Chains A and B, each alone.
Chain A
Amino acid sequence: MERDFYNEEFEDLIREKTDQYKMYPSDKVWKGIHSSLHARRRRFVIGMSILVSGILLFAGKELIAPGKHPITQKIAQNTSTSPKSASEEALSENDQPTPESYFKDPERVINKPAPQRPQTLNEVIAFNILDNSGSTKEPAIAVTQASQIDIASIVEASPFLPSADLSLMMPKATVQHLQLEATASRPSTVISEHPVSSTIETAQKSNIANYSADDKKQIDWLQERALQHLSPIKQHKLNWQVYFSPTVNYRKLSGGNYADSRSTVQNVPIALIHYGNANDFVDHTPAIGYEFGGNMLYQLTRNLSVKVGLQFNYTRYMIRAYSSTPELATIALNSYYGYFADSITGYTNVRNFSGKSKEYLQNRYFQISAPVGLEMRVFGNGKLQFNIGATIQPTYLLNRNSYLLTTDYTNYTKEPSLFRKWNLNGGLEAFISYRIGNLRWQIGPQFRYQLFSTYTDKYPLKENLMEYGIKIGITKVSRK
């Protein structure tokens, strides 16, 4: 009794003294608590906003405002440079027209100006007789003896008269005729129009005929060069895709048959009365979630493409539970060696079977993943196609708000330490696609399954999330 009295006194002393004792935590404790409650959510929201905005901006840029045609871009580049002088721009004798120069100034290529030669009778007459409007006027050329000699020497020296110009193509015979006329006439003979006009008309007619022939020659040359040097427009192998999919999300529970002698969970509560598969003891229903992302597709063959991308998933499902007074909740953890018992206890006011009032819990998961897979055209033509696809998606759990079932299936509680951060999902899809211009629109069903449990190996139950939905996507088919 003496001892008992002393024991009580001892315990009272211990309790009283320890209650008096206080310690003041360092600032980092509150900073850690605050960042856990607030900044994490803010960073998550900011991060997701940046990611979504980036995907949408990029998709919009590629799909709605496609880049300029490469040829017109090059032309724009060339025309944006400082204008050259007329002499610089004139094609020299040895300057062969190129397809580029043809596109730049087709007329100039066809109507190649005459090379720089001494002025000939041809050019002089042309200048005086024909103006831009094509009207003729009285020539005013004085042909002197000297001119005759000049003309003759020029004609002799220039057997080939320039062609393909507004200047006349004057056959040699005509020139010689003019020469004779000039000789026959008085020294200060002015070559009148009339004698010249008929000659000019003839010359004109012959010039037109020759002009056409020349044109034809140049066009033929151009076609020939185009076939040789201009490559056909071919399809780029890299395409871009964005997609969105409303999904129906669900889960599959497994494990938890603690009555089984093979169970690794040894420290089950004494009051365990529920044996069997956990799926039989929970009431959960699917709920709507969504998924969106972007892919880069590389065409391996005509029918097969490989794709990599980035994707965001919002997954959730509902659990029917009941509210109750706070009570102790135990989660027995797996033991690896059969003899080490471990568990986590906490307080909860959510029951699984019965309670004060019905309550619907929502388990939510926010994930980001990098799908890698293949897309194959099963049948179809360039416009309408039927395709199938499969992906493997390494997934990271950004955030979650979910409840765990206790070992005795009686309560729901929260324990963040039992959730996996990294996981792996598999996806299958089939869709019909239709091409309009550079865009291919697609729609079709898809299915996604989580390959590893949502929880760590410590937690005895396994949860595999699954979702199915309708995927709507747009792919931009790039061209060179």
Chain B
Amino acid sequence: MTEEAILSGCLKNQAAAQRELYNRYSPKMLAVCYRFAHNREDAEDMLQEGFIKVFSQIHTFQNKGAFEGWIRRIIVHTCINNLKKNKRFNESIDILHAGSLQIREESIPAIVQAKQIVDCIRILPVGYRTVLNLYAIEGYSHKEIAGMLDIEESTSRSQYTRAKQMLEDILIKKRILQKPREKMQWLAGM
């Protein structure tokens, strides 16, 4: 089914077209939700709510830009609203315990690394994690993030800096990432 056919079917509220759209984009979108959520169950709840919004607002998609990007924006906003509704921003995880995180390894190295990085992102406190997800991965500006999270732009910048530093420390600790100084020395030695 082409994307046009899926869109057309979804506009007519056809279940087959909706299922096709869901199958095509749900794996990636669940990964997006997983980065924001506290656990997998919360991530699936966010995904469900997000796709319901996608189907009910599909008539507002005006074929400008990628369809995946439009869906992703709705999913991200749903995640943010969910976090705010459940007041998850008050939770925090002691960064010292990040070292005890058990990460299951899979056979394909690329996926291993991707999963590891996602798991490390999820270790971060929810406020840091959200700003990092929105800025570094989803590509929102600090001004847009400030509007979505009801914070100041400067707060968004400082939160992001701290989040990135913390994530870097976790990745280095887990040997997923090399220390920057070591890397630059290695590059200089080449």
Say whether B101 faces chain A, with CB atoms less than 8 Å apart.
no
B99 located at the interface, meaning its Cβ lies under 8 Å from any Cβ of chain A in the complex: no
Given A36-B52, A37-B13, A37-B52, does the pair A25, B136 have CB atoms closer than 8 Å? no
A281 at the interface (CB under 8 A from B): no
Q: Given B31, B55, B64, which contacts A18 in the complex, CB threshold below 8 Å?
A: B31
Cα A28 to Cα B70 in complex, Å, equals 24
The answer on a CB contact under 8 Å between A10 and B60 is no
Residues of B within 8 A of A22 (CB): 27-28, 30-31
Q: Does B22 contact A (CB under 8 A)?
A: yes
Distance A13 CA – B180 CA, assembled complex (angstroms): 13
The size of the chain A interface, using a CB distance under 8 A, is 45
Q: Closest CB-CB distance, A11 to chain B, in whole Å? A: 5
Return chain B residues, CB-CB under 8 Å to A345: 77, 80-81, 147-148
> For the complex, is A355 an interface residue (Cβ under 8 Å from B)?
no
Check if A7 sits within 8 Å of B57, measured CB to CB: no
B117 lies within 8 A of A33 (CB): no
Partner of B51, one of A10, A17, A33, A343: A33
A23 lies within 8 A of B30 (CB): yes
* Cα–Cα distance between A32 and B15 once the two chains are bound (Å): 13
B57 touching A414, Cβ below 8 Å:
yes
In Å, the complex CA distance between A10 and B30 comes to 23
> Does any Cβ of B come within 8 Å of A21's Cβ?
yes
A379 within 8 A of B: no
Q: Which of A18, A29, A34 is in CB contact (< 8 Å) with B15?
A: A34
Closest CB in chain B relative to A352 CB, distance in Å: 16
Encode contact with B along A334-345: 1 for CB under 8 Å, 0 otherwise.
000000011111
CB-based contact B184/A2 at 8 Å: yes
| Contact (A14, B62) CB under 8 Å given A33-B51, A330-B147 | no
A20 in contact with B164 (CB, 8 Å)? no
Does B158 touch A at the CB level, under 8 Å? no
Instruction: Give the residues in chain B near A341, CB-CB below 8 Å.
Output: 150
> Which residue on chain B has the smallest CB distance to residue A330?
B147
- With an 8 A cutoff between CB atoms, is B84 at the interface? yes
Complex CA–CA separation, A384 to B19 (angstroms)? 62
User: A63 to nearest B CB, angstroms?
Assistant: 39
Interface footprint category on B: 35 or more
Q: Are B27 and A347 in contact (CB under 8 A)?
A: no
Could you tell me if B147 and A23 are in contact, using CB atoms closer than 8 angstroms? no
Pair B56/A414 contact, Cβ less than 8 Å: yes
Judged by a CB distance under 8 angstroms, whether A187 is at the interface is no
| Per-residue contact bits, chain A 344-358, to B (CB 8 Å; 1 contact, 0 not) | 111111000000000
Q: Give per-residue flags for A289-324: 1 if the beta carbon is below 8 A from chain B beta carbons, else 0.
A: 000000000000000000000000000000000000
Query: Is there an interface contact between A25 and B44, defined as CB atoms closer than 8 Å?
Result: yes
The answer to whether A17 touches B114 (Cβ under 8 A) is yes
Q: Quick one: which of A3, A328, A347, A414 contacts B147, CB cutoff 8 A?
A: A328
**A residues bordering B, Cβ < 8 Å?**
2-3, 6-7, 10-11, 13-15, 17-26, 28-30, 32-34, 36-38, 267, 269, 325-326, 328, 330, 341-349, 414, 417
Given contacts A18-B118, A26-B44, 16 further A-B contacts (CB under 8 A): A18-B114, A18-B121, A20-B111, A20-B114, A21-B118, A22-B30, A23-B34, A23-B43, A25-B44, A25-B47, A30-B19, A30-B26, A33-B51, A38-B13, A346-B74, A347-B73
Mind listing 25 A-B residue pairs with CB under 8 Å? A10-B177, A11-B136, A11-B164, A13-B117, A14-B167, A17-B114, A18-B31, A18-B121, A21-B118, A22-B27, A22-B30, A23-B40, A24-B26, A29-B44, A33-B22, A34-B19, A36-B52, A37-B55, A38-B15, A330-B147, A344-B84, A345-B80, A347-B74, A348-B60, A414-B56
